[in-house]
A and B are shown apart, each in its own frame.
Chain A
Amino acid sequence: MRIGLFVTCLTDTLYPDTGRAVVAVLERLGHQVDFPAAQACCGQMHFNTGYRREAVPMARGFTAAFGGYEAVVTPSASCASMIREYYPALASEAGDAGLARAVAEVAPRTYELSVFLADVLGVTDVGAYFPHKVTYHPTCHGLRMLKVGDAPLRLLRAVRGLNLTDLPDAEACCGFGGTFAVKNAEVSAAICADKVAAVRQSGAEVLCAADNSCLMHIGGALQRQRSGVAVMHLAEILARTEETR
């Protein structure tokens, strides 16, 4: 299958290891991965902060970069839900019929990584090996907007050596919320404090999630507290094998 990788601007800029891991996992499964260089940002931050007009050209850029792929895969449930859930409304609001057609074509084929692996490809054992105690935070947009269900957990359970431990009150938001973390920094920090306490209570060495934005948030607090708990994107765990460790 010819797959277009939408790496997302955040992962592209700050977490390139996640992008490399997605490529490694998909190629290990025998797929051809392209990174169309014309891609940039999906526009979610602008859209969610009220700058919808500014998000429209980003949606155009996305559809132009990814037209023609059998599947577009992204390591972010949040960006995937922006494209799948909000692009149609954005296009119709902008009165851009061409964009609406392009969205109708590409949005349904845009998948979050864990959904693509577990539900589209039907693979849960991707040949990974990761002998560590890991806990999983289901991110809000994955859980409630995109409804990825237990796809990430099925993938983690199939990782050899991995000891998956429960995260208390796992479905609670981490308090990131994009620009909320800056506009309402104190509230965001208070919500995050409870998430961090839950992560530490789980006794895990590694906190895993399928979205780098939330991991940036929780990880930033874990690091500030010198907790010793590492954060890793799901893709990076799935990319690990006996050979890579």
Chain B
Amino acid sequence: MSFDIKQDEGFWRGEFQSMASPCELLIETDDESLAYALTKLAFEEASRIEQKFSRYRQDNIIYKINNSQGKKISVDQETALLLDYADQCFQMSDGFFDVTSGVLREVWKFDGSDNVPSRNKVKAVLPRIGWQKVNWQSPDFTLPEGMEIDLGGIGKEYAVDRTAMLIRAHSDNSVLINYGGDLYATKPKKNGNGWLIGIEKTGIKPAQIKNKKRTSIKEFQLIQGGIATSGDVYRYLVKDGIRYSHILDPHTGWPIKEAPHSITVVAESCIEAGILATLGMLNGKAAKKFLQAQGVTFWIN
């Protein structure tokens, strides 16, 4: 695995693959060595976070916790901060945002089919869900046997914000970070403008400067801050004319009713944008009202 840099009009583009997503940096500079250095920094940080927090690996803290069989695990500072964060998100969302809800994937497969699980199957998983059942006394974490945690819901956004911090510490140039549609702009460009972002039906990405056929339904200038999207037009089930969104209520184990297809939110950081978008989805048809009350810029599809 490695990264690439290419020169574009007025900026350098760094590219690599991480966290199962295409990742790119747009760096406002003519300086190839700076572009190389910043892309390397970003690549290493994204790889580090993926390696440390991916639930698909067997050599990291998440695996250790998920295979602790009810025993107490002492965690490092960064993991502790993320668990604190998960705890605060759980509290503020009255239990709707729950990093232990990933086990619902055992019964829900969002592949566009009509494969809706039976009530009993869903019910059987529920006892293994619930952040209130874990014992978190930093730095000691005890997860009841059979439960799992998954920081995937905040991992990519966290990687974007962490990368932005590292880039800021190394360079004063404006950089747009895009990890699979989770974005962050470090500062305004030299002319005072932001980076042009295209909000599309299938997600968001930097708008192509010389794109012949634009697919964006909306364009937006990101001057500084984060953007994230929750929801995905391809991840749903349809049965008997009912569309089941992949946003699941951890209390019932069933999809949130009448949730939008996707929500995109702009916030101070990428991780805040991501949480607000997810909370918006969890509000179902009240998503718009909820996001308006937060006073953030958002788009609902």
Bound together: no
Residues of B within 8 A of A (CB): none
